[in-house]
Chain A
Amino acid sequence: MRPSIKKPLMGQEWFVRFASPALVGVLLLAVWQAACRMNEVPVYLFPAPTDIMATLAREWPALIGALGSTLAVTLKAFALAVLFGTGLAFLFVQSRFIEFSLFPYAILLQVTPIAAVAPLIIILVKDTSTALTVCAAVIAVFPIISNTTLGLKSVDPGLLSFFRMNKAGRLQTLWRLRIPSALPFFLAGLRISCGLSLIGAVVAEFVAGTGGRSAGLAYEILQSSFQLDIPRMFAALFLITVTGIGLFLLMAGLSRLLLGHWHESAMESES
C-alpha cells in the first residue's frame, strides 16, 4: 500500500468491485427504459423497468406470499441436498467398494432432466409442497456429492503420511485432516447447489402447475401468462433473480468466513 500516491479511479478496489457493475446495471436499465418509451412499446408487449416496478409495488402482497412459498421449498430442498449429499460423500470415501457400487446411480440423478421426473414424483408424493421439495433436492444434490467426495479425497499425501506416522486414528484423520481439506470443495458445491435448489423449486412448480395454498412464483408466472399480464411476469421473474443472487451472495459470504484466512479462492487480492 502506498497511500501517498493517488490511484486512478479504475484501479481502486471499491470501484472495480461495486461501482463498475452497478454502473453497467444502471446504464442497461436506462437504455431499456428509453427504448420502450421512445418506440412507444405497449406495456402488454414489453414493459419498461418503471412499469415493472409499479406492478411489483401494486401486486406486492400476492407476490411476496408466492416468494415466501418458493423460498421455503428452495431452502428445504437445499438443506435436504446438503444432508444427503455430504452423507453420501462420507459413505463413498469409506471404501472403494461402496463408491463404485453407488456412484453410477448418483450420476443418474444428475443426467435425468428434472422436468421429466417431476410428474412422477408429484404423483407419488401426496403433499405438493413435499413433492416440490423432493424434485428440487434431486437436482441440487449432485454437486454436493461430487464436490465433497473429491474434497475428502484431495488430502495432501505428505500430511496423510504424517498422520499415519503419528499413529492417528480414523476419526482423528477424518476430523483434523479430511474435513478441513474438503471444506473448499464442499463450499464450492454449496454455491452451485443453492442456485440449483431455486431452479428446481421453480421448474417443479411449473410442472406441478397446481395453485391453492402453496402457490409459488412459478404459479404466479403461469397465471400471469394466461392473463397476458406481462409486467406481472417480469415482476415475478425479478423476484426469482433477486432471490438467486441473494442465495449466491450468502454462500460466497460463508466461504469467505470459513476460508478467508487460508484458502486462495476466498482471499482478498493482495495487489
Chain B
Amino acid sequence: MKHQEASLRVVSASPAPTAADPAEAPPVVDILSAEKVFANGMRGLAPIDLTIRQGEFVSLIGPSGCGKSTLLKLVANLHQPSDGRIAWWRGDFRRVGEAGRRLAFVFQDPTLMPWARVDANVRLPLDLAGVPRAGAAPRVAAALEQVGLGRHGRHYPRQLSGGMRMRVSIARALVTEPNLLLMDEPFGALDEFTRNKLDDDLVQLSWERQLTTVFVTHSIYEAVFLSTRVIVMAANPGRVFHEFAIDEPMPRGDAFRGSARFAELCRGLSAVLTEASIASQRRD
C-alpha cells in the first residue's frame, strides 16, 4: 500500500497543482472527518476530510462502490454523516438557501414531473419557495434560454429527447441561481456526442456564473475536461485515494479536448484509477 502511494505521487507529478489563487478562495463546503456507515453495517465512507473552495469544479471519480455518490449526497444534505460533520459556507445547513448560499442538485436521471410542461418543471423550485408566478416567469424563460431550450417551454417531457430532458433538469437547477451545483453523473445515460455538447455548455456556464460545482462521473475524459480538481476515490471502505489539479484555463473547448496535454492528463488519470481499483479489491 505504501509503495503504491509513493508510485502514485510520481504519476501525478506532471499535473501538480500550480495555480495559487484557488487555494486562497473562501471554502464553500468543508467535509470534516465525515464518515458513513449504512444501516446494514457496511462502511460506505471512511472518515473524509475535504474542502471545496469557491469557483472550483471538483469531479469525484472512482470504481463503483467507492462512495462518490454517497459523498455527494452528504454534501447535498440528502444523507447525514454517521460521524464527523459538514459545513456549508462555514455554517450549518439551515442557512443554505439564503442569498449567496443557494445549492442545487442534478440527479442521474432527469427526474422531471411527466404531467407538467417543461416550463412548469423548471418553475418547480420557485413554486416550492413561494415565488409568485409573474416574478417566476422571466427567470424560467432565462434558465431555459441558457440551456438552449427557449422554444420548448410548452412541451411535455416525453416529447423531448434524453439530452433535452437532461437540459431541462439543469435549467431547473439553474433557475434558483445556485452558488453550489451538485451533479450526480448527470450525463451518464447519454450518447457521447450529446455528452460532449453538454460538457461544453456546462464549462461555459459554470465559468460565466462563477459556480462552485461538485460533479460525480465515470468518465475519465469528462473529469479531465470539466474539472479544476479531480478527486479519485477507492472502495472498501470508500475513501479519497488521490487528487490532482487540472490547471488548464477556463473556459475550455474542443481545442483542449484535442490537445496532446488533454491526452496526457487522461492517461495519467487512467493510471491512477487503475491503482484505485486494485486498492479497492485488496481490502476485501
Query: Which residues of A are found within 8 Å of B109, using beta-carbon distances?
Result: 158
**Chain B interface: which of A18-26, A101-109, A164-172, A248-256?**
A164-172
B101 to chain A, nearest CB (A): 13
> Is residue A162 contacting chain B, with contact meaning CB distance below 8 A?
yes
Bound CA span A177–B120, Å: 13
Closest partner residue, chain B, to A159 (CB atom): B111
Name the residue among B77, B97, B103, B111 with the largest chain A CB count within 10 angstroms.
B111
B105 to chain A, nearest CB (A): 6
- Known contacts A261-B156, A262-B156, A262-B158, A180 near B113 by CB under 8 Å: yes
Interface size of A by CB at 8 A reads 19
Closest partner residue, chain B, to A162 (CB atom): B111
Closest partner residue, chain B, to A180 (CB atom): B115
CB <8 Å contact, B128 and A166: yes
- Known contacts A159-B113, A180-B113, A167 near B97 by CB under 8 Å: yes
Closest partner residue, chain B, to A161 (CB atom): B78
- Known contacts A261-B156, A262-B158, A166 near B111 by CB under 8 Å: no
Bound CA span A163–B121, Å: 12
Closest partner residue, chain A, to B105 (CB atom): A165
A161 to chain B, nearest CB (A): 6
CB <8 Å contact, A165 and B113: no
CB <8 Å contact, A158 and B111: yes
Per-residue B-contact encoding for A227-271, CB less than 8 Å = 1, 0 else: 000000000000000000000000000000000011100000000
Partner of A167, one of B107, B111, B128: B128
Closest partner residue, chain A, to B182 (CB atom): A165
Closest partner residue, chain A, to B173 (CB atom): A162
Bound CA span A176–B97, Å: 21
> Is residue B76 contacting chain A, with contact meaning CB distance below 8 A?
yes
Closest partner residue, chain B, to A259 (CB atom): B115
* Between-chain CB contacts (< 8 Å), 19 pairs: A156-B111, A158-B107, A158-B111, A159-B111, A161-B78, A161-B107, A162-B105, A162-B111, A164-B78, A165-B77, A166-B129, A167-B97, A167-B129, A176-B124, A176-B127, A177-B113, A261-B156, A262-B114, A262-B157
A-binding residues in B (CB < 8 A): 76-78, 97, 103, 105, 107, 109, 111, 113-116, 124-125, 127-129, 156-158
